[in-house]
Structure 1
């Protein structure tokens, strides 16, 4: 079990990078949602969000 905890430990730089990446993802998703908000039937909103997440994690 100690091996698992060693593998999953993150240093401070990793956490900062992850926080910055999460912030960027949230901002991009909110913008995509706002762009579709005025539409009566916002087709593709979920696809846009999925695309953003896939781009950011790859």
Structure 2
């Protein structure tokens, strides 16, 4: 998954204004105790990060 697609999905689910804040501030067990920003900076694949977000916040199946 390209990062542009990842960020589009984040904005679609959380809203453009909140997606960045969520990515910076929300620590998730699904990402090994990291935030989205930390996981991406450490080289995690965007698709794996998106899967973690989907699991953590119960993104509806149609948006996964």
Q: Please give the TM-score of this superposition, normalised by the length of structure 2.
A: 0.30
* TM-score, normalised relative to structure 1: 0.32
Higher relative helix content? 1
